[in-house]
Amino acid sequence: MNEPLLQVRGLTVSYGGGSVAVDQVDLDVHDGEVCLVLGANGAGKTSLLRGIGGFAASERGRVRSGKVLIGGADVTGRPPRTMVGHGVVLVPEENKVFRTLTVGENLRAAPMTGDRGSRRELLDEVVSLFPFIRERMDLPAGQLSGGERQLLGIARALLLKPRLLMVDEASLGLSPIAVRKVFDSLHSLVAAKGMTLLIVEQNVRAARAIADRAHVMVSGTFALSGPAREVLESEQVRRTYLGLEV
């Protein structure tokens, strides 16, 4: 197998110099792969994605040690905007959209690359993936439903032409129908565009259909890693981490 798109080695993330949220994590994500991270609340999943996608200078979080490589290039500890330049785009857990901007403005806020024609093309393509956007163009994004906000966040991320798209808790707080919609969209992204995904998800039922590999996170480290099918079917996961009936 060729070199992974994302290589994480011994990544340690801490807040305010104090508490360690991610402790020496190793992770590989290959091109075209869908990688799932599971774990209880506070396990450090969000911190892992933030450690890869970068913290802004105004935040308390820091990558304390370890390495993050994208296509072999060392990008450890770079701020989010630089990571976007390297093709790593995160749809964060909270605040996925600019609430005071309209849906259309949310999309225009994304600094797209390429010439005018290709930008137009990408925009049309993304909008056709999420048809609701066309009807809601002039609505402030704060007034969208939770599911629509999630999709708008993903749409905005797609305009940045990600090589690796990270989505944190896509289904959190959504109705079952909305969860279905979001995962159908993710599924079609993977199927049609071969998108590489790194997702954090508690809803195992929804994630099962698209995940290739899975990692179970417990207090900042991976307790279990492997092919998604094996990990998700393992009795240990079903009982301990997911609380499903065996």
- Considering the rule CB under 6 A, would residue 221 count as an interface residue with ligand ADP? no
- Considering the rule CB under 6 A, would residue 56 count as an interface residue with ligand ADP? no
Rule CB under 8 A: which of 48-67 touch another protein?
A: 53-54, 56-60
- Considering the rule CB under 6 A, would residue 43 count as an interface residue with ligand ADP? yes
- Considering the rule CB under 6 A, would residue 181 count as an interface residue with ligand ADP? no
Structural tokens at position 79: 């701020």
Could you please report the per-residue DSSP string of 20-36?
A: EEEEEEEEEE-TT-EEE
Of 44, 53, 54, 162, the one binding ligand ADP (CB under 6 A) is 44
Give 161: exposed, middle or buried? Use CB within 10 Å, 0-12, 13-18, 19+. Answer: middle
The dihedral through the CA atoms of 193, 197, 200, 205 has a sign that is positive
Rg (CA), the chain: 18
Of 27, 36, 38, 47, the one binding ligand ADP (CB under 6 A) is 47
Check if the beta carbon of residue 39 is closer than 8 Å to that of residue 23.
no
- Minimum CB–partner distance for residue 208 and another protein (Å): 28
- Considering the rule CB under 5 A, would residue 46 count as an interface residue with Mg ion? yes
Indicate which of another protein, ligand ADP, Mg ion, none lies near residue 43 (CB less than 5 to 8 Å, by partner kind).
ligand ADP
How many C-beta atoms surround the C-beta of residue 149 within 10 A?
22
Give how far Cα 192 sits from Cα of 72, 179, 195, Å: 26, 20, 8
- Considering the rule CB under 6 A, would residue 51 count as an interface residue with ligand ADP? no
- Considering the rule CB under 8 A, would residue 119 count as an interface residue with another protein? no
Bridge-based pairing of strands 213-218 and 34-39 is parallel
Distance CA 87, CA 82 (A): 9
Structural tokens at position 186: 């993710």
- Minimum CB–partner distance for residue 38 and ligand ADP (Å): 9
Distance CA 143, CA 203 (A): 25
- Minimum CB–partner distance for residue 111 and another protein (Å): 5
Span from 21-29, 71-79, 90-98, 106-114 in contact with Mg ion (CB under 5 A): 90-98
Of 3, 42, 74, 100, the one binding another protein (CB under 8 A) is 100
Indicate which of ligand ADP, another protein, Mg ion, none lies near residue 185 (CB less than 5 to 8 Å, by partner kind).
none
Of 160, 172, 218, 242, the one binding another protein (CB under 8 A) is 160
Give the interface with ligand ADP as residue ranges (CB under 6 A): 15, 19, 21, 39, 41-47, 60-61
Give the interface with Mg ion as residue ranges (CB under 5 A): 46, 93
